[in-house]
Chains A and B, each alone.
Chain A
Amino acid sequence: MPIPTREEIYAALEERHGRELQKKLSEASVAVCGLGGLGSNIAIALARAGVGRLHILDFDIVDISNLNRQQYFPEQLGMYKTDALYDTLSRIAPYCDIQKDCVKLDENNIPGLLEKESIICEAFDKADQKAMLVNCVLENMPEKYLVAGSGMAGIGSSNTITTKRITKRFYLCGDGTSDVEDGMGLVASRVLICAAHQANAVIRIIAGKYEI
């Protein structure tokens, strides 16, 4: 089958999401920082929902240890995650405007790199890097919405993973405590729950539903 036209895909999305919400989604611009278990799943959920512009950022390459939970394929091993996920997102949502930046984010480059997007997803794996991004965005870009994830290791109950609204523009998803450094590995199902919380928080912000 030929790939559907932009209009055909938009019409299908509009039918499912409603005209008003789909217009907001298609006009939205979201940055996903870190393309591991959280970020790759968040980006795919947002692309499927018809978010108009995605900015994906990571510096790492696809490793065999990623395949248990991250949205990559064995033939993509060794590729930069930005390139691999760009390919996958382009197949899912061929008319999504995707910007990829293969870069390690730090306090100096974050304000410039994330300037355009109104909503930023923190999807790193290391705790100190999560804190760095969150502090940098909140200190330097108070007009942005920020959706972070913390605590999703292991196979604990799904129901302990929540979305909290810490301040007006800062949302935090996860159970807050399950640390991968405590020896609990990351499992696809539970990482997906946290990623879905983050993606849904983003979609609710886009829809103007700010309460949790």
Chain B
Amino acid sequence: MVKINGELLDKAGCSVTDILADMGTSGQRVAVELNESIVPKAEYSSTFLKDGDTMEVVRFVGGG
């Protein structure tokens, strides 16, 4: 199990790209933190979640 935005999910083994696709976002408007470290955009497809990982997906919306 991995924790994504505070929710325990059965996503161990999935890539960051897979998880963003499941969330319906392409990755252009997000920042992804895995275990308190930023995941560089270039590494989304090659970063796979392991059991016990904690991931935060910050989705940005327009306005400022």
Contact = CB atoms under 8 A, between A and B. Distances in A.
B38 A150 contact: no
B24 interface: no
A186 interface: yes
Contacts of A38: 64
A149 interface: yes
Contacts of A52: none
A112 to B, nearest CB: 19
Contacts, number: 84
A131 B28 contact: yes
Interface in B1-58: 28-31, 33, 36-38, 40-41, 56, 58
B62 A181 contact: yes
B2 to A, nearest CB: 17
A180 B36 contact: no
Contacts of B59: 150, 176
B44 to A, nearest CB: 11
Contacts of A168: 36
Given A34-B64, A131-B30, A167-B33, A138 B38 contact: yes
B33 A170 contact: yes
Contacts of B31: 131, 134-135, 138, 166, 170
A86 interface: no
A42 B40 CA distance: 28
Contact of B61 (A36, A135, A151): A151
Interface centre among A127, A172, A186 (most CB of B within 10 A): A127
A180 B29 contact: no
Interface of B: 28-31, 33, 36-38, 40-41, 56, 58-64
8 contacts: A130-B64, A134-B60, A150-B61, A151-B61, A170-B33, A178-B61, A179-B62, A181-B61
Given A131-B60, A167-B33, 9 more contacts: A125-B64, A128-B28, A131-B30, A135-B38, A166-B58, A168-B36, A170-B33, A179-B62, A191-B63
